Structure 1
């Protein structure tokens, strides 16, 4: 498959490759699936989902043998390991990353390559991918002290305290004299309790979140007393019923048990023959986890006041936004008639000041009568920030009949105020007075509208 031209839409190409890769999986054409998912990884290397799919089909190619290609093919790994070592020493993370992926095509279970990938991703602040790679390495060498510690540290950095504590418990079980493990377990359990129980910022016990699904160890629960347990019983009776897995995953998701929801969805994906709709739900769970990690990081930063914690919060927020844009871009491409998705994508693009990319999505979204007003307002803001005042004025004025102060007071005031500013700047005094006046009718203290109107009318 030819590479996209310079300046091409890599996300669009990746989405097309992913579709072809999924079709190949359904036909068990592993070589084609590897080629397509491999292209996805090259086009959008920060997308963890693409790498997970590539690794999965690579394992299928080798019949899940746990060792990859034969001895002759593995001779290639010697050169790749040397290349990775040199690239890491030179901090050429991009080349080191590519070399890891080349090696993992030969043996996706290779512990050393997965450790290298985990380190590379950590250095490049892709902690989601780092945790995943270290986790794969750990599966191949469960008792390796360095791998376990590296994984635990990344999980803690991401705010996944319960998972990090689990890794340290494993190390403590291996060596009960490990004082570091004992201390880490205690610290992480405290963080987990604060996050899961909602104690952070709670003024009294009534403010603390309660998990109604908790069952004490050894306690027998009668049918109907636990929704989750009833669902799991139903799955045991009908293990090939995809719908039951989806219902359980939805329940787990609502109760913020995201790891369990992900595991359940992967089971549903397997029995469904890689249903693309389930893949989308898995992407949504991934976004839920990123949002949860961000919330935890914000609480930690607020409590500690440390610059490093605040920087971690910023990095996690950027990671979440980036992944949201990737996911939504692919869905806009897949569902071109869904104007709501186009509007949502445009708002995300506006957050990173991609005005020219947001504009065509908003133009199409404004064709839907249900969102016409807010889409036109957002469109006007894009033109305004892109220094096209006359076009911005046109969009804002088209939006006015759709706006209601009672329903959207902030949007209403902001739009009239922006129109006042635009008209004032181009010397249309009468229009500026009219728009500022509309703002003052509903909010006399809104920004500097009163001062600007007074000045236009010849006052001090």
Structure 2
């Protein structure tokens, strides 16, 4: 268990992580959350924040994890196995977190991490780890392991559900029905035994003391019930709201998560952590609606209702993000990363004058200069101010890392488009040739070169 000073250090790292997350600085946020988890290993709030920001890097979409990540994680898993062989379970857990940075939905790594947590005696953490990836799992062996983890946490319905999943995946598993019957019996025995002890403790001449009875009552509570109880007992305990909301998010119940955050903000007005978490949930809810409309249109491109809804939700998301980044800037007016993000959202809304003003502030930061100049150029180009757009792109190109082909190609391409628009085909061709030399398939650069020639 962490000492008081260790707890303070972990909390400090966690706060640094929250600040970095608000600035969209994912790498630093991950680093800080990992440091917090190293100190306070079984803290589910820290662990959930870490996994949440890792997933946000991939827009909360497992399909966006690269195909080669398995090979990238293989040497990390080998190191974890070496530590496992030495029973260095805390090290196993830390090594697994390295792999989650590359793929926060990795099933094999999750199993290794959950096993390490179990060996360390952190059964709740082990359960959280398996539940975090259960929706992506398709392997019967994983669900057998998950059933075991739920069983040691006495989460009988969850363990039974896992064995039911095993039956569907592997109909020849003769052990599944035996396990389901056994778990059902255990649940009944435990339920009746605890209930009798609680009901009869007043009349019993001897038996469990008050502390034991409270512990027995607590064992009956699910994590959701426990957090609800903590909130009722102390409405100012912000960690309980955050942990309860994370539970709902893991289940995909974003509406319930939002209600928890709204309740927390009502009891703790102005709390930065709750306000940030509430905004992130609202953004996820709107993004989810956008994703559903996009999938609908992929199936039925002529669905006018879906098109209208997509436009409505896209506008809603942009407006909400503008309002949110402005709120964050009132708290951190010197944060140029927030200025950049605000400018991008303003530009998406067609508010290019306001966007340019935000980009001009953001470019004062060395970390954001290139992107701010690039975005300024796009806004000037949208306004028809081609000379100013050209200047922004040229300044960005001078400041850019010459090895960063993504930004170099983007800037040369825009300079080519601006040159074409100004009637300078020779200059345009020079810029397009720069792009083609790096990536001939970049956008429509091949067709534009052909047209110019």
Q: TM-score, normalised by structure 2?
A: 0.46
TM-score, normalising length from structure 1? 0.46
- Select the structure that is richer in helix: 2
